[in-house]
Amino acid sequence: MPCSLCDLPTPEDPVTDPDVDGEFCCRGCLEVTRSLGGLEELEAAAEDADAVVAAGTDPGGVPGAAGRESATGTIDDLETTYLHVDGMHCATCERFLELTAANAEGVEVATASYATDTVRVDHDPDRIDPDGLKRTLSTAGYEATDRADRSPHGDDIDVVRFLVGGGLFGMMTMLWYVLFLYPTYFGYEPLVDLGGVTGLYLFAQIWVFSSVVLFYTGFPILRGAYVSLRSGRPNMDLLISLAAVSSYGYSTLAMLLGRTDLYFDVTIAVILVVTAGGQYETRIKRRATGLLSELTAAVEDTARLASGEEVAVADIEPGARLRVLPGERIPLDGTVIEGTAAVDEALVTGESIPDTKRPGDEVRGGTIVADAPIVMAVGDEASSTLDRLVELLWDVQSSRSGVQRLVDRLATVFVPLVVAIAVVVGLLRLATGSSPTAAALIALSVLIVSCPCAFGLATPLAVASGIRQAAERGIVIVSDALFEEATSIETIVVDKTGTLTDGQMRVIDVETAATVPTDRLLRRATALERASPHPIARAIVENADDLRSDGGRVDATSISRTDSADSADPVDADAESERFTVSDPTVHDRGVVGSIDGVEHRVGHPSLFDDWTIPDRLDSVTTAVRTRGNVPVLVGWDGVVRGIIAVGDDVRDGWESFVSDLHDRDMEVVLLTGDSVESAARFEDHPHVDRVFAGVPPAAKAETVSRLAATRSVAMVGDGSNDAPALAAATVGIAVASGTDLALEAADAIVMDDRLAAIPELFEVTTGTNRRIKTNLAWALVYNAVAIPLAVAGLLNPLLAAIAMGSSSLLVVANSSRSILDDR
């Protein structure tokens, strides 16, 4: 049965509690449910959210990702395909691609996200395959490809389009205007005869250059206008296109009629200003749409049968026997039937210590066999935990939206209103006796002066400024959605390993019996641990290697050794000159056993010493080490434990002030970790840590964050691949730079220097940037409220309208370039 919280399979004896409804895969899931499930308002909100998803439609009427109903009823054999689509840049693109996919035969559900350039399609594979989907969505200038085939040159094409169209042809056109046309507008004699062959040649060049700018550089804008009409959602691209194409069309007709009042410069100004602003947004978005390289690369395509034959994972049936060699990744969930091996589950569970798996133990797809081959039987569903993590992350991340959605929503009202005003004013002018040319110029002036360059730049320029100022503080912001969402954070969920701690296993402390020198104990432990590939063994060996290379002694704090029960050392040797040779070392799942000078030595987990004598003081030290969240490694010989090596990761400097700072910002602080309860105990006593959830698997982390986010805005701070779904599920995801590729790609912001104090600074920057965005949008609204009536009154010609439009954009640029601190 699946876990009641995270849907992972439960063991044969599920974790249960009389006070908590459900069956769970681990104690962590049970404790999360106990804490969150009791909040009735939280459960109600979660049910409401599920109901919306189950309804299968978004606010625009497009079926949502959870929809499963077709005209013929429920389809159980749907296949989900994710495609990368180049060319998406607004919510209207999403709507167009969703409609295009939904109209294809065999497609049940389509959900697009321009924030990640991703389209998820649920389809009947017997009626349409992924290649057919790619052909269907490769239309109107969009190009659909597999996620793994995404072109790395998409950004280069956009830059070339901008530089060639704007930098070359646009500037050449403006040069001709400055030299030959603008002087005539102010009553000066032209430098050449504009009415002769020379003028015709000059105008022809301007027309060609303007055509390149409009149809090449402006192609994404024109395409956006086209799809907005196809999808029935007017957007800013439509209004920009109307202004640019109208001025271009008028100027082309005027040129053919021999007139010199040409407004090709308006077309160029509109296209280049909007394209420049769009480049900011594109560069921001690209950094937030990685290909989930770590986990996607880790998903296995082939597997080795017990007979040695390699087969495709997709062809493996439940119950099949697979052989996995040391260093290889387990392809599917299943059960060990032969062999014993340490399995590194860090990528999937976040647990830093490998777990020994024996016959009968369950193993998870995506984990790595560390030290010995095993034979496993594939589970009933022939699925992989790692696959589920990858799909979970894509589901959550692809559903995100950016700040620009606010502007697009505004455009659905603003664009039709402006067009209606322009048409009505033009017709009224004709009706009141104005010439067709005068009426057309006034209508064109209305379109140009209201051209939403200020709207288009308000968000990306403020975001770019916020990104720069965050970078000065060692923070990389990878999603513009952060500036809209971070200002309302009420709860911040923090991962332990790699976030509050550095995540590097090392020797933390050494405690020995009174008669045993610390360095002698370490050398004997190291001699045995060299035979083991276990990460804890490596930490002890590396500690000894570091001491040897530095020529130093042990740097560890030991308590006073006065326990009379400690036995004397039967091996008499000079501590400074001992060189140990281990005879017949045997590596167990919990440690190493060997002989030194004929005396049996052991190093490892306390369970390895069940039949040995453990002095009372060292037994107490073992408990204390576990309480501090570290791993106790016992060392002994001749039947007696002689000392304890504490292995663990260090807490980061300043974690306490970091937690207190978040508390001072009225944020609830929640610690969420896949590690044991003991490893989280040292943080639970901090007065500003409100809740601690330990032993929580990655799928449950995402579910926990989702439940918290049902009633409040939640930020998640983490570093591991197993944190990635939770980072994506949170309102705001924050990763530390030492984390895995997947965690970085799922995050909205990355702290580059692992400095915890940078996280409160991040909230300061985002709050200031959000205020700047609102100020820019307010200015754009005020500008249009003044400029449009002036154009309607005939007080602005197209050139002055373009100047006014450009001036409003310059004010937005100037406001965005100010320091965020200026607003405090």
Taking the C-alpha atoms of residue 101 and residue 85, their distance in angstroms, rounded to an integer, is 12
Rg over CA atoms, the chain: 33
Is residue 698 packed enough to be buried (19+ CB in 10 Å), middle (13-18) or exposed (0-12)?
Answer: buried
Per annotation, catalytic residue among 158, 495, 519, 723: 495
Residue 695: closest CA among 12, 5, 40? 5
Residue 677: closest CA among 691, 695, 689? 695
Active site annotation includes 495: yes
CB atoms within 10 A of CB 577: 6
Taking the C-alpha atoms of residue 242 and residue 233, their distance in angstroms, rounded to an integer, is 15
Taking the C-alpha atoms of residue 168 and residue 724, their distance in angstroms, rounded to an integer, is 43
Strand order, beta sheet including 143-146? 107-113, 118-123, 79-86, 143-146
Phi, psi of 613 (to 5 degrees): -85, 130
Taking the C-alpha atoms of residue 458 and residue 769, their distance in angstroms, rounded to an integer, is 11
3-state secondary structure of 566: coil
> 87 in the Ramachandran plot: left (φ > 0), alpha (ψ -120 to 50) or beta?
left
CA distances from 296 to 212, 387, 391 (A): 40, 8, 10
Taking the C-alpha atoms of residue 576 and residue 566, their distance in angstroms, rounded to an integer, is 22
Which residue type does 422 have? A
Taking the C-alpha atoms of residue 41 and residue 36, their distance in angstroms, rounded to an integer, is 10
Which residue type does 811 have? L
What does 364-426 look like in DSSP terms, one character per residue?
-TT-EE-SS-EEEEE-TT---HHHHHHHHHHHHHHT---THHHHHHHHHHHHHHHHHHHHHHH
Cβ within 8 Å of residue 502, ≥6 positions away: 649, 650, 651, 652, 738, 754
Taking the C-alpha atoms of residue 735 and residue 110, their distance in angstroms, rounded to an integer, is 30
Q: Which residues are catalytic?
A: 495
